[in-house]
Amino acid sequence: MEGTDAKVIGSRILECRKKLKYSREKLAEAADVSNSFLAEVEHGTKNFSVPVLARLCKALGVSADHLLFGRENAPDTSGILQMLSGIDPQYLQCLEELLAAYIKTITIAESR
C-alpha cells in the first residue's frame, strides 16, 4: 500500500469495526482473515492485498475510498429520506414518477 499511511488506514478500520460494535474476531471471520492479522492491520504494522481490502469493505459496509483515503463517495440522503418518511403512502407512486422524470431531465441536460 505504497503512498498510504498504514496506521491511518488501520485506525479507520478499527473505527468502523467499533461503530458496528463488532469484535475483532467477528470482523476477522467476516473478512476471512485471522484475528492476529487483523490486529496487525488495525495497528498499522501489516499491509494487506486488494482482495483483503475488498473483503474488509464488504464486511464493514464501507467503500475502499473511505478506508484508504477517508472519503465517502455516497452523498448524504438522510434529509430526503426524512421528508419521505412523513409522506402519505398513497402519494409515493406519484413522487417516484416525478423524481424519475426530474432525473431524466437532468441527465439529458448534462449530456448536451
- Domains of the chain by residue range: 6-69, 78-111
Residue 84 has pLDDT above 90, yes or no: no
Can you give the pTM of this predicted structure? 0.63
Which of 67-71, 76-80, 99-103, 107-111 is the least confident region?
Answer: 76-80
Q: At what angle do helices 50-60 and 6-19 cross, to 10 degrees?
A: 30
Pull the grid cell for residue 17: 469495526
- What is the per-residue pLDDT for 2? 43
Report residue 1's pLDDT band, with 50, 70 and 90 as the boundaries.
very low
Average pLDDT over residues 48-61: 95
Write the Ramachandran bin of 44: left for phi over 0, alpha for psi from -120 to 50, otherwise beta: left
Q: Under CATH, what is the fold of the domain 6-69?
A: 434 Repressor (Amino-terminal Domain) (1.10.260)
End-to-end CA gap in the chain: 40
Residue 67 has pLDDT above 80, yes or no: yes
Q: Rounded to the nearest 10 degrees, how much is the dihedral formed by the CA atoms of 54, 56, 61, 62? A: -70
User: CA-to-CA distance for 50 and 28, rounded, in angstroms?
Assistant: 16
Maximal C-alpha separation, the chain:
55
Report residue 4's pLDDT band, with 50, 70 and 90 as the boundaries.
low
Q: What percentage of the chain has pLDDT greater than the value 90? A: 64
